[in-house]
Chain A
Amino acid sequence: MLWQLFISCFRVGAFTIGGGYAMLPVMKNIFVNEKKWVSDEEFVDMISVIQIVPGAIAINASIYLGHKLSGIPGAIAAALGSALPSFLIILLIASSLAGWYQSPYVMNFFSGIRPAVVGLILVAGIKLGRDILQSKLALILTFIFGVFTLWLKIHPALLIILGALLGIVLGKGGKEI
């Protein structure tokens, strides 16, 4: 199990290109669809709660899932697995005098990947939303929160806390999101 976790997180780490959310589609595919280690709901709840602790999203997500699946040893295996690819690549870049990573082939490779990353994140977001948001209220809130992030640039941690408070307050009033 630990080895499986390590390898799975290594694959996620190796394909997190272009910021934290880029790992979402890859991670969801491995952890939810392929290995069936967590459900859609658990996956989204994981993404929510890791926003309120410090650190990189990809690393936090790996540690959280590792911990959930095999306790502290799982968390260690997952953290090392997800950090190792970028560690090795940067070590290679920092220690090699030849700027191979600036070669046009490498650059073109990454400029090809970037539009695909946008598409993958978009699909992952829409599919997760479709599967876990059951009420009309949830959909309306998603839209409002989207406006908040896109135009008002509200900090992710604040948005998550706002959502949680809203959920609790509405729950007290007998209405569930």
Chain B
Amino acid sequence: MILQLFLTFAQIGAFTFGGGYAMLPLIQREVIDKYHWLSNAEFLDIIATAEMTPGPISINTATFVGYKMAGFWGSVVATLGIILPSFAAITLLTVVLNKLQDNKDAQNGLKGMRPAVTAMIITAALSLAPQSIVRPADVIIFLAAVILSWQQWLDPILILLLSGVLGIVIGLF
């Protein structure tokens, strides 16, 4: 069981490009359809929980499934399993990038990536906006966060904590 958990999550980790949500179909196929470790309803619960709690959705799912199937060590093994492919891939990538450090094409390639990644970050914010900014109070929190972080008046972690507290206060009324 422990070995199977490790291998399954290593496989999921190795074949998901583009972050958490890209992993969901693969997790669904392996964990629900193939091994029946989770029901569909449990899977939806995990996604909802993962959205509410810190951390990548892949780590959250691995920890949860690992714990459910084999207790504490199951969760450790599943979590390490999902991290390992990233670890190997990035170590390899770093070696390659170091070799290419003085290569003109590689430098131009990196420069070409910059507009793409800037666009991705900004559009990530825009695509999160409709589901995150719903109530009028959300607009105020959003604007306050923009101003406070633009002016660097507050640390991002403090902005997040204060917004959370504000969320609780708003919920009281």
Contacts and interface: CB of A to CB of B under 8 A. Distances in A.
A167 B112 contact: yes
Contacts of B90: 50, 53, 55, 60, 63-64, 67, 75
Contacts of A124: 121, 149
B34 interface: no
B91 A72 contact: yes
Given A54-B16, A117-B132, A110 B114 contact: no
B16 A146 contact: no
B87 interface: yes
A54 B112 contact: no
Contact of B52 (A15, A54, A110, A171): A110
Contact of A122 (B141, B146, B156): B146
A133 to B, nearest CB: 6
Q: Is the interface of A mostly helix, strand, loop or mixed?
A: helix
Contacts of B133: 114-115, 118
Interface residues of B, number: 91
B54 A19 contact: no
Contacts of B37: none
B105 to A, nearest CB: 5
Nearest to A56: B56
A165 B112 contact: yes
Interface in A98-132: 101, 104-129, 132
Interface residues of A, number: 106
Interface string B124-138: 111111011100001
Interface string B161-173: 0011111101100
Contact of B163 (A13, A116, A128, A159): A116
A39 interface: no
A177 B112 contact: yes
Contacts of B143: 119
Contact of A20 (B14, B56, B87, B110): B56
Interface string B143-156: 11110011010011
B170 A49 contact: no
A55 B112 contact: no
Contact of B120 (A53, A63, A83, A149): A149
29 contacts: A16-B54, A19-B19, A26-B157, A49-B93, A53-B17, A54-B86, A55-B86, A56-B86, A57-B19, A79-B86, A83-B79, A86-B55, A93-B49, A110-B167, A113-B160, A113-B163, A115-B133, A116-B142, A121-B121, A138-B114, A142-B119, A145-B119, A146-B119, A150-B126, A155-B17, A160-B117, A163-B116, A167-B109, A168-B108
